[in-house]
Structure 1
């Protein structure tokens, strides 16, 4: 181990960044490493009754952040990440976003892995969604192992763990029954047999007949009393029992989940202990809210998809947004994207100048390590996304990439898209964001008398200023006019607000010196002229 490794481990052991706080739980769990040098196992779960979404991404990303933090904390102790698909679950409801809904309706309550694929591409609906999950995770470069519940149940790999459930049937019922409503207690069973008649996953009481053979007795949908083994995929477990069994069977050491599963964590932890195992360490994170502060619901359709985020912001900005404060509820809507983009680049630019202790608290340090990337940490954007959006807003809904780059030539050295690929990608996204959200809302108001005098003074100053003036020089010029008591502004904030509303059509805006430098002195004078004429700039 090198001196650098020692310094990293020492800093990681005291860092307050949440991935290290989570990783230290695993250090406490295994002070001397996992027995036999086995890798610490991280798990994420996925229910393939629908397509993977932004929640799937955030759980795998956040778990990976903890995994990499643990590796840094231990100097490279072995780890694994399992992406587990609960594809033995019965289909409870037909999703809205699939074709051939009638096909799925005819197979309600059957295991997802045994239902035909409505897309007609795979052997089952679960196989289709599992393939989408793997493509989804591969797209972002996650290092993981895919595990299918159906494969484990059908192959017999879970048989020994299922035998453990039968052995502790009464104890598990003792944990679960007090948590259920009286009506539900009458039909509850930890084991859900698959009907030999219609292949549905049944919610019926069962009686344990023979633990060694896995035999249970239950009443089928036909009214016939059936004795059937639970081994080899002929049954699955009720959710909370299934989660606990999986933890024990796979040896899961860490798994996080949303706040809505808090009770499941508690009950599954008790069941895992009954089965001879131990509940994994984990983080219970807060859920996403929409722009009105309401919980995001797939049925309401008030969420934001990962595709939508990537239409308007970068993958790194999404990771940055998800990194911050996982125990606090987060608004998830398009309005948060521009700030997330700019804050990501602010943190990325400052990373190489920070001492190690501060680097470990920098979200970018963690994000760059998720896929093993350690280079280029000091890269910077020559123009902020916010400033880019202001420029595109002035250019209008029909602005083009070429137009934007022509203006960037006023501000960026070597203004060639090939030389600035990250900025070029944001230009495309800024055009989309402006077209869909900014242009339809921009309204430039006419200045009042005092504001008109100040704008005329600004125009006069700009007339005497060269196109080569720096952003700082232009900013000072704007400041001086705003501070002049002759124009009656209560403070600089009022002056800048007037500039934003009369020139840009927005209540908020950029540093005006930077904007003028980017847009150009002559073009800014044209904006002022249009404002003073009471006309709207196009």
Structure 2
């Protein structure tokens, strides 16, 4: 295979996939093994992701779809010709148990506690219900990324009877399911627990009440209305009942024939319970899957769709490309990750580094490369002249939020680069401006140089002023190193930290020679002179 080719021959691709240690292939091999043990290697394989639309979809929901898609594509390589489907299932028939804190009209929503989410008015006033609003938000996010999936609504599936046969099986196996669930509950909850939740014909509420009678032959359950005590009998079919979510999860796996579903680490015990219920209902092996680590916000707390803490998908897309978000999702899914704004620049540059490395790699290396999984095995060829971090430092030093000004600096470093021949770089310029405006600029803290730093900066300005106009970034970096050594900094890191804090108002920064080449030697000298003169560096 040529080193510069981005196409992997089918035979080499399959061979590499069979031994790849990339986690999507490790997961996909579990599904291949599942089919072989079942003796059904040619049937359609169903992947599922779940979403609870009781709050706005957060970035973790997106991550589950992105990661499941990566496993799906890996499976399709390992089992060519085997059809696959991905269902994104929304539990929108669930009752609203609390009012989210990150939506408008919360007082109005408080009047609809226990109503199915598809019966709760939309607080944003744009859709037929709160559930419909959140479903639409999720689908818009997924569609913007080009994911191939089928959306499924719990309300529609229950009411259309698609779960009826399995719901009758749940009623038949009620006692066995209770034996599984009760030991997992607190004592007070055991007294009222039922895996089957009636939907009150009078109030429309999804009721968390014990059942007073069951009739498996007639397919009905009876309960006492909470406020009147009236005993009401309803069918378990046709959307007249829904299941508690752990039982609901297992029921969906059986009814739909799910082969693979992943879940967060906080749901390990729930997966075990659902798997046991699945076996009771089907006497088969539960779906494959793995438990990923949770995303944490700035304070180290789990992100929540009802609180809206952490990053939203819209947040990320204001500051970085969709592909960089998928890169974040690909990396170490079993390791805990802090998901906040300051993780974005590093992930952008690491994603771009993966793209640059891809053409030079052999088949096995490519299958371990995040770019392969982000782009479905066909990543674009890209080798940008400068990094995103360097663009941020350029915006920081110039205090400019004008794309044309930043492109003028870029051409100092890469004379032939234009927005037309480097559209991805042009996108990065826009992201850098947004990130600089919202985060870098407000957080800048300049300081005056110490005596030793002042002398070194003065020397650096003189040396740069005398440098040849065609000096390379490496030659300029050597000048910076020499100044640090000449002025006997105990640690050269202290010298570079001084450059960043005095000139850029930040604690860390880019390779300084590259920055000088990009920003311009004369411009850098002027920047140093301003700092030495005690000017207000925050005004550009």
Normalised TM-score (structure 2): 0.94
Residue 295 to residue 450, structure 1, CA distance change in 2 (3 Å): same
**Is 2:106 the counterpart of 1:106?**
no
**Is 2:44 the counterpart of 1:39?**
yes
Match of 2:467?
Answer: 465
Matched residue of 1:418: which SS? Answer: coil
Matched residue of 2:36: which SS? Answer: coil
Matched residue of 1:417: which SS? Answer: coil
Normalised TM-score (structure 1): 0.94
Tell me, yes or no, if the aligned pair for 1:467 and 1:520 is still in contact at 8 Å. no
**Which segment drifts farther, 60-69 or 147-156?**
147-156
Residue 264 to residue 492, structure 1, CA distance change in 2 (3 Å): same
**Is 2:261 the counterpart of 1:251?**
no
Matched residue of 2:133: which SS? Answer: helix
Name segments (4+ residues, structure 1) moved above 4 Å. Answer: 298-301
Matches within 5 A, 1:14-53: 14-31=19-36, 35=40, 37-53=42-58
Deviation at 1:117, TM superposition (A): 3.4
Deviation at 1:460, TM superposition (A): 2.3
| C-alpha distance in structure 2 between counterparts of 1:203 and 1:498, whole Å | 62
Aligned residues: 530
**Is 2:322 the counterpart of 1:315?**
yes
Match of 1:129?
Answer: 134
- From 476, 479, 485, give the equivalent of 2:478: 476
**Is 2:378 the counterpart of 1:374?**
yes
Instruction: Give CA-to-partner distance per residue, 1:132-174, whole Å, 9 cap, x none.
Output: 2222211111100111111111111111000110111110011
Matches within 5 A, 1:169-180: 169-180=174-185
| C-alpha distance in structure 2 between counterparts of 1:123 and 1:208, whole Å | 35
Matched residue of 1:84: which SS? Answer: strand
- From 366, 389, 399, give the equivalent of 1:359: 366
Match of 1:84?
Answer: 89
Instruction: Give CA-to-partner distance per residue, 1:477-518, whole Å, 9 cap, x none.
Output: 22222233xx11124323222222222222211111111111
**Is 2:235 the counterpart of 1:229?**
yes
| C-alpha distance in structure 2 between counterparts of 1:515 and 1:36, whole Å | 56
Unaligned runs of 5+ in 2: 1-6
| C-alpha distance in structure 1 between counterparts of 2:8 and 2:426, whole Å | 40
- From 408, 411, 414, give the equivalent of 2:410: 408
Residue 385 to residue 28, structure 1, CA distance change in 2 (3 Å): same
Deviation at 1:109, TM superposition (A): 0.8
CA RMSD of aligned residues (A): 2.0
Residue 24 to residue 158, structure 1, CA distance change in 2 (3 Å): same
Matched residue of 1:226: which SS? Answer: strand
Matched residue of 2:112: which SS? Answer: coil
| C-alpha distance in structure 1 between counterparts of 2:91 and 2:446, whole Å | 53
Matches within 5 A, 1:134-533: 134-221=139-226, 222-276=228-282, 277-298=284-305, 301-369=308-376, 374-376=378-380, 378-396=381-399, 399-484=401-486, 487-533=487-533
Structure with the larger RCO, 1 or 2 (CA within 8 Å, 6+ apart): 2
| C-alpha distance in structure 2 between counterparts of 1:166 and 1:45, whole Å | 23
Tell me, yes or no, if the aligned pair for 1:248 and 1:278 is still in contact at 8 Å. no
**Which segment drifts farther, 378-387 or 240-249?**
378-387
Tell me, yes or no, if the aligned pair for 1:466 and 1:521 is still in contact at 8 Å. no
Instruction: Give CA-to-partner distance per residue, 1:57-76, whole Å, 9 cap, x none.
Output: 10100110111111112234
| C-alpha distance in structure 2 between counterparts of 1:115 and 1:496, whole Å | 57
**Which segment drifts farther, 125-134 or 166-175?**
125-134
Tell me, yes or no, if the aligned pair for 1:166 and 1:208 is still in contact at 8 Å. no
| C-alpha distance in structure 2 between counterparts of 1:391 and 1:114, whole Å | 51
| C-alpha distance in structure 1 between counterparts of 2:480 and 2:41, whole Å | 68
